[in-house]
A and B are shown apart, each in its own frame.
With several copies, the nearest count.
Chain A
Amino acid sequence: MLKGIILKIPSDDTIVETIQTFVENIGLTAGVAEEDVTSLSIAVMEVVKNAMEHGNGGDPKKLVTIYIDVYSGRLQFIVDDCGTWQPDSELGHEPEEGKALISSRGRGVLIARNLARWLDYGLNPEGKTRATLIWPLT
């Protein structure tokens, strides 16, 4: 089983597609069904793009670290950035009505959480933002 994969990447838009493909292939290797790997990769990339943009302010010198592990029955992605953001409560479940609804932003976390079913934010041992996303394997 795949265990211990660690990927560190600069906060650089040009690498996003490469990482998305990488996540899809990891998914296939881990046994995610072919028709589900893009959903998986979209979920993970919503989180990774937020880490690059909001956590690291788009500074290419700041890295995003992705830890990938396969456990029995689940594929786990941990995404660390250099920020210290930690949402007070589960965010993203309830998009507001009215103005917020027609914003062109603000749906990344929501989409990731809905696709992956499990997405949690917290701080890593160094006190930096850590997102944990779990994809069930059947």
Chain B
Amino acid sequence: MKIKQEIKDGVMVIRLSGKVISGPDLMELKTVFQTAVNNEKGNVLLDLGHVAWMDSSGLGVLVSGHTSLTREGSRMAILNATKKIHELFIITKLITIFETFTDESEALTSLKE
């Protein structure tokens, strides 16, 4: 897994690529979310466009991140989930709690406020 971060229109954009599965990389992702939470002022857009695979541990980190951000009054949205990842969200019903976008500028407009 690779993690890239940038601030765009005041939104923290986190771009993941590769496999979001159990392993040392996941700890890093946790830290990134933690930093976003401590950051306090930002909504988060999570770009999964280049993520091919995710397992239950990867999903767990996303859910924790989402929960922590929501608790701080921030929002987290997901951009460009592939077909496989989208199916995973449906299977696990997470689709009901995750906001998803397929267009980056639309997502940024919604999150920047």
Residues of A within 8 A of B (CB): 13, 16-17, 20, 38-39, 42, 45-46, 49, 95, 97, 101-105, 107-108, 110-111, 114
Q: Which of B64, B88, B96 contacts A111 (CB 8 A)?
A: B88
Q: Which of B22, B56, B93 contacts A16 (CB 8 A)?
A: B22
B63 in contact (CB, < 8 A): yes
User: Which residues does chain B contribute within 8 Å of A39, judged by CB atoms?
Assistant: 53, 84
Q: Which of A38, A97, A104 has the most CB of B within 10 A?
A: A104
* Residues of B contacting A: mostly: helix
Assembly CA distance A46 to B38 (angstroms): 31
Q: Tell me whether A110 and B52 are in contact (CB under 8 A).
A: no
Q: Tell me whether B61 and A111 are in contact (CB under 8 A).
A: no
Q: How many A-B residue pairs have CB under 8 A?
A: 55
Q: Tell me whether B63 and A95 are in contact (CB under 8 A).
A: no
User: Which residues does chain A contribute within 8 Å of B60, judged by CB atoms?
Assistant: 104-105, 107
User: Which residues does chain B contribute within 8 Å of A104, judged by CB atoms?
Assistant: 60-61, 63-64, 67
Assembly CA distance A16 to B23 (angstroms): 8
Assembly CA distance A122 to B96 (angstroms): 32
User: Which residues does chain A contribute within 8 Å of B22, judged by CB atoms?
Assistant: 13, 16, 45, 49
Assembly CA distance A107 to B53 (angstroms): 15
Q: Tell me whether B23 and A111 are in contact (CB under 8 A).
A: no
